[in-house]
Structure 1
Amino acid sequence: MKILHTSDWHVGKVLKGQSRLGEQKDALAQLVEVAQAESPDLVIVAGDLYDTAAPTPEATRLVTRALSALRRTGAQVVAIGGNHDNGPALDALRPWAEAAGIALRGGVRDTPAEHVIDGSTADGEPWRLVALPFLSQRYAVRAVEMYELTAAEAVQTYADHVGRLLGRLTEGFDSADRVHLVTAHLTVAGARTGGGEREAHTVLNYAVPSTVFPGSAHYVALGHLHRAQPVLGPCPIRYSGSPLAVDFGEEENIPSVTIVEVSTATSAKVREVPITGAAPLRTVRGTLAELARFADPTAWLRVYVREAPRAGLREEVQELLPRALEVRIDPDLLPAPGAGRAAQRAGRSPRELFGDYLDSRGHADDGVRELFDELYEEATK
């Protein structure tokens, strides 16, 4: 069977105040084109369809249309909730999804069978997919208790709970008559973060070892880390990465989707298909003269300016580079944190204290001090 594995769409993501809904639409349209060209039997969307738990109507429209378009290619479609998604809100869409032929699992349900999805390819090859949406630490304990595995103890870790849940859900994976698949939205220890993940959900307390997945699984389709990569483990495990760079920490990532071909008798063969529908993100450094020579009208830019701080510098940079979303003084030009003496506050005026702050940041523009004086006088009248 052939699988298209994608994740971390983050529809609705705003970058430094810049809406990227148009780029997200283009990236997902290209993803649908890949599905049309590849004719997969199954499409797996491994979480974080949205960027926030309260997506806008436009974001909701884009996600539901993309899922519907993927289903119209003839593939069976399964999507799960990620840590950015609102699991109950996704589950509220299940009547629509079921009517459209889409299996949508927003959160962990109280019946294990809800997370075991059976299907077959057009050629009659059967498959079984365990679909585990994102679990918070608090809910992981509750989920274990729901499934009546054993009493949850305070000393047990998040990895213990996830491992026990997956063990329960994959109990039937020993049979050799079907392709066994898992999809989950989580962090596996040893994988590399991609730059835009929510840090609180990628730290060690949320990391699980790859051994939570059974060796009998033919393929594990993961979401959460935005860098496409395989993970060493007892079976083929992979992050598909995001189809577009979500923030400037991801500018080195290559947005893509993963195509997997696997059967009960053959190991998973994996290849990446690049997605180029969104604008690239770039970080550039230099003086104003050097920045003036930078020519890339397509990229969104983070700019580190190698000039002394002064009033109006940001505006000068943005006049040169209209697609600069973030403008900062190059950190190499700034004093090291803690350098210089700490300001003595007692008996000193706000102007003197502000002057100390400007000096500590290498900001020698007298116009900024004069502007502070005017604002302070206005505020204290």
Structure 2
Amino acid sequence: MSDHQVGKIKAAIVGASGYSGEELLRLLFRHDQVDIVCVTSRQYAGRPVGDVFPRFTGLDLNFSSPSIDEIAESADVAFLALPHGVSAEFAIPLVEKGVKVIDISADFRLKSTEKYLEYYNAEHPAPELLKKAVYGAPERRKEAIKNADLVACPGCYPTSITLPLVPLLKAGLISSEGIISSSMSGVSGAGRKVDLPFIFPECNESVRPYGVVGHRHLPEIEQELAEAAGVDDVAINFIPHLVPTNRGIHSTIIAKLKDGVSADQIREAWNSSYADAPFVRVLPAGRLADTKNVTLTNYCEIACATDAHTGNVILSSAIDNLTKGAAGQAVQNMNIVFGFDEKAGLL
């Protein structure tokens, strides 16, 4: 047990009315070492959680208006499921008041304030807090997460792309140049909102790319890949697609193999890197990742095939965008911060 907290901890979910908030509720309600003491939503303040999410009907918990003082008084940890820019408004005072903050937004993922301005069209709201924030990739930064006051959870697409690529770049098995990721996401990735491009008749029986140049997840992906490769910059093509499923992300990634590298070496690098990673599944030869096998779980499946014709390796990666891509990874980070079993509430 960590010295951060003994026994059950009290959790607040700030901005709990979206899909990530609903997923956090699902996971934390079944976590034996967590009591949910506060769920906030300006829109639904005063209403029972079961009114908004009928699956939780009968649970004695109401939405409340977000109050930093009330959150700080009642909670040991606050999950921020808020839009970028808004998260920082809560993160700064909550960290100052001694609350551990697990942020699902993009506010603290990028180390560069210049990149934040370029991709989010606003000055970074809390550059002084960037130095304290730990990028919450549990498979790579567990020791730093243990002592973090503020954890910046990775984005969903970046999780699906960096998990297969980082060990290969670190081991020098692939080139850091010319990487392409064609990724597909279910409609819940767009958030819980009524917006014409995302209503059923517009999405069903349809697959379409979007944000093929300058997507906001691109600098986060490139930041992590550059660090793994030990270079200043990495430039990739990231091509996201919207597909007619509720949840799930699949990324097909193409990278140039270094001379003589085999598929067995790729899998060996993964197995070595993720030997102690409970939520990464390295698939055997002949299998590729499938979103249906990770839906409603915190797992990431990774697989590969090598192409002698082109000298490329094709990587296949699947996660649930709302679990491993958001709320599940947030709970995994919380478990590490508070010294719980990393898998608690997630199996």
Query: What TM-score do you get using the length of structure 2 for normalisation?
Result: 0.32
Q: Which has the higher contact order (CA 8 A, sep 6+)?
A: 2
| Rg larger in structure | 1
TM-score between both structures, scaled by the size of structure 1: 0.30
